[in-house]
Structures are given as C-alpha cells and as structure tokens.
Amino acid sequence: MNKDVRNGPYPARFVFVLILVAIATSMVFWRIVDLQVVDRQFLQDEGDKRTVRYSRIAATRGVIFDRNGRALAVSTPVVSVWVNPQELAQKQMPWKQLSRELDLSVRYLKDRIKKNSSKEFVYLKRHVTPEKGQRLMDLNIDGMYTIDEYRRYYPSGEVAAHLVGFTDVDDNGQEGMELAYNEWLEGTPGKYRMLKDRRGRLVKSAELVASANPGKDLILSIDMRVQYLAYRELKAAVSKQKADGGSLVVIDVDSGEVLAMVNQPSYNPNNRKRINVASLRNRAMTDVFEPGSTVKPLTLAAAMGTGHYSKGSSIDTSPGVFRVSSKLLVKDHRNYGVVDMTKMLAKSSNVATSKIALDIGAETIWETFYQVGLGQASGSGFPGESGGILPNRGRWRATETATLSYGYGISVTALQLASAYSVLARDGLKKPITILRDGNRDEIEEQVISQRIAKDVRGMMKAVVKKGGTGTQAAVEGYEVAGKSGTVHKVSRNGYEENKYHSTFAGIAPANDPRVVAVVMIDNPKAGDYYGGAVAAPVFSNVVAGTLHLLGETPADVKRIAKKQQPRANRS
C-alpha cells in the first residue's frame, strides 16, 4: 500500500475503514456459510413450496362380495375437474365446450368461478369418466386440472342396497356395511412429487414418494340368488297389498348367517339425486314392531319349561272370551272349547295363551324371550341396529302378563324375530347372527331351551301350516313347514290404530331337519286382507320354496323314498 496513504494526515480514519471492510467481508462470508450450511434445509423447503408439488394417489376401496364371490360394491376410476380461478381470471374460456362436457350451464360455471375468484382451488365437477376428463385436458386451458379418484359402483343396485350401503363423494362409508367396515375397506392413499413453475406447468416428471395401498375385501353372508328372490317376492307383495312397506329376512340355521335381507321401499345407491331419506333405513334391523302371535311358540316353550305343561296339556277356552281385568277382555275368533297345545297354536287362541301366562307368570315368559334374543341387539355390528323393547317390570299386572304372552307390549325387529326362531330350529341352541361369511366360526353356542321342548314346540307349529291352521298359505310343496302367523294393530301417538296393521309370518323349513328360518313382515296392507296368514304367509312360501331349491335341499318325499330303497340296495 502507498506509504503516503498510510502516513497521511488521517491514519486513524484509514484503520477504521479497513476494519469496517474486514467486518463487512466477514459478515458476507458468514452469511454465505449460514445460507449454504446452517439454513440450507429451510431455504430448500421454501424453494420447494414455490416449485415442488405433491399430488395424492387415490387408493382403491376394498370390494364387497356375497358368499359366492359375486361383487356387490366395486370401485371404478374417475377424475374430478378443478380450476384455479386466479389463473382463469383474464382468460377467454370456451364456455360452450365446457358446458357440454361437464353437463353444467354456462351461467353456473361463470358464477362458480367468479364467486371463488380469490381462491386457488375450486372443484367444477366431481367424478366424471376418464375419457371426458381427457377431452377437457385436450382443450389446453391454463388453470384447469384433473385429479384421479375412484367412485363406488353397486352392481346389485337396490336389491342389496340396505345391507351394503353406500359411500359419499369422498369415498367414505355412509350407510350399511360400507359404514360399519369403513376402516377395513378404505385403503391408504399414495403420494408423488413433481416440479412445476410459478404458473403450475410441469417442469419435471413425477417422482413416486409413497405407493397407494388398496383396502381389504369384505365377504358377506348373503346369497344373491336368495336375495334377488326375496326382493322380488317382497316387492310384489307390497305392491299387491298396497302396503306402506315390508321386511324379509332369511337365516341359515346351522351357521346363523343371514342369507337374505330385503326391505321395501328401497333405493338405487348408484343414483341418489331424488332419493327419499326414509328409504335409506334397513328396516329389518332398525324398525321395530309388535310381533303379535308369532311369539306364542316361545310362550309355550316357557310354559313347558316349568314342567307344569306338556304338548298333551289341555286348556278350556270356553266361551271364547276371557276377562283378564277391568281393562282387558281377551277374545278368540270363536269358541274353540277345550284345546290342546297344538290346536292352541293352530287356531292362535289368545284365550288359551293368556290363561297359561297368568298361571306361570310374566317373569317366566320374559326370561325365555330374553334368552332367545328378544330385547337385545344381535351383535352384527350393523349401524343403527335396534335392540327392540322387552320391558322388565318389578311387578307385572295381569293385563301386562296376558298381552306379553301373545306379543303385545313388546317390540322386535324382523332380524330379532328370525334369530329367536332359529333357536327353536336349532333344538334350543342359541348362536349369534352374523352378516359376514364364516362370521360365527369362533362363537360358542348356548343351550337356552331344552332340546326336547324345542323339538316338541316345532312339531306343534307344523299344525299352523296344515289344514285348519291360520297359516296354510305358508305351506311349501315337498317340505314340512313349522311356523306362526301374527297380526297386530299398529301403534301411533294416540294408541293403537283401528284399521292399520303389521302382518307377519315367521317359520322354519324343513320342520324336522331345519335348514332355513324366514320372517316376513308387511307394513299396513290396504288392499283388503290384513291377517299375517293371508298377507305374509304366501311370501314366506314362495321365498322358502325357492331358497330350499337353490340350496339343494332334498324334498321330504324324495328322502322317504330313498330311505325305503336304501336297505334293498345294501342287500344287492
């Protein structure tokens, strides 16, 4: 450095400037180190926020199958169209083409973009076909994009809608098994990374960050062959009887699995634009009704369990009416005189049932009802399943005892009633009801009714379907049927409705070697007939006949012939 400068008139000023330059240089150097080493990750993240984009990879939802592998709910690929209104603000849009492809009015599209002009993400339409999405992308509109998604499709439509349920636009379960097993069915979305410029244009191709994992499949216990049959017959009956609705349940006796469960009215889960919310309920599991005379076999089982009654016991019903209390006069259709237990069921005598109930007490009847599953949910896990109503009183009045014995004052679902009958069909063994195939593999059976009593009651129930019984129209050609009809007045806020009824038939087939239990309930038939034996029994007959045929159940007369011929074959 020039000596004259160092030794000039202001040496201190020179040193000061030199120090300042050194400090500034050091600070610049430190900042370089700080940016490149200390804050490197922060700066990289800030840069990534402006250029790196992460996009979601939709996961396929698990398929729902029936017991034979028939798909009931599948996921199909779709795309959803979205826009960045800020990018579209100054552009000339091909409104007519967009309107035609999206099936939306030009006015709607303009208003939607204008109202959301301050946002960066707005859906124009969800779930269009991939082909339509590609045509939209071919328009090369900056600011309009698509997202790959999946939409649920239900091949069986309204036939299995109440049981399977449906998902919302975001593929989350909303009803039925879709809701009950949502976590099981839904998959884990994946993610990929891409580099875009400030206008959102792709600069570098995508890089997979995490793969999408599909959801798990679900196999239901229902047999769609039986389901279609049950749906067809119930719908026809509700229409013919001009009824408000109905429910039908078919259960496999051995496994406790539900083979069919249908309701009317139903809905199409693939098109829910104009759906009636009331149609969404799975009435067979959520709606309760008084079972009426269908519980009389259970009342007899309770009476026989005390040891005071047997299938040969007789009750005098003369003169066809019975004064229980000042508020209750029980009547039969006519004076049946002295009846045994079998005739009591066949004629559905309220007088005989009431006399038995007052003799053994309401607590005994209540205990049997509860043991077979009334007053408690089945444990199927179905959303909104009702446990019914089985009142447990500290002190039972005579009126309450009598009405309990023939099915008034309690409420059940169609599934509960079917479950109770399956106990009789299984010789007194109780097994949980399930909607899943092999869902009861680890469940333990419980003997809640004596095997002898269950068989005796089932044998007496056969008289209901034979000539002279109240349920002759429930007969199935080639098979013996054990069952019971029921007819009760509907309940409203003002009490029992005079001309509104629940018509029910519950039965077991074949009676001697049970394979299936079925319950049919018709809600408020208005075409003339309203007795369960006239309205619900024919539906039972048609459905059970078809079900036994589909399951390969050999008719009773064929079994007898084969049994007679078997020794001859052995001798030869």
> What are the tens digits of pLDDT across the range 167-198?
998 899 999 999 999 999 998 888 766 665 55
The more confident residue out of 556 and 39 is 556
| pLDDT classification of 21: cutoffs 50, 70, 90 | confident
Architecture of the domain defined by 54-219: Alpha-Beta Complex (3.90)
pLDDT (0 to 100) of residue 273: 81
Local confidence band at 100 (pLDDT 50, 70, 90 cut-offs): confident
The secondary element (H helix, E strand) that includes residue 304 is helix 296-305
pLDDT at 315 over 80: yes
Residue extents of the structural domains in the chain:
54-219, 224-270+280-560
More confident residue, 41 or 289: 289
Looking at per-residue pLDDT, the higher value among 478 and 494 belongs to 478
Secondary structure (3-state) at 81: strand
Q: What pLDDT sits at residue 572?
A: 32
What's the whole-number mean pLDDT along residues 245-266?
97
The predicted pLDDT at position 196 comes to 59
Q: Which CATH number fits domain 224-270+280-560: 3.40.710.10, 3.40.50.1970, 3.40.640.10, 3.40.630.30?
A: 3.40.710.10
Residues 6+ apart with CB under 8 A from 234: 246, 247, 248, 262, 263, 264, 520, 539, 543
Catalytic residues: 293
For the whole model, what pTM was predicted? 0.84
Beta strands in 265-320 (DSSP E): 314-316
- Is residue 283 within 8 A of residue 411, CB to CB? The reply is no
Identify the pLDDT of residue 570: 41
The dihedral region occupied by 127, where left means phi > 0, alpha psi between -120 and 50, and beta the remainder, is: left
Mean pLDDT of the chain: 88
What average pLDDT does range 489-513 have in this prediction? 93
Q: What average pLDDT score do residues 111-115 get?
A: 87
Over residues 99-113, the mean pLDDT reads: 87
Helices (H), 221-269: 224-240
CA distance 525 to 374: 25
Helix (H, G, I), strand (E, B) or coil at 145: strand
- Whether the pLDDT of residue 130 is over 80: the answer is yes
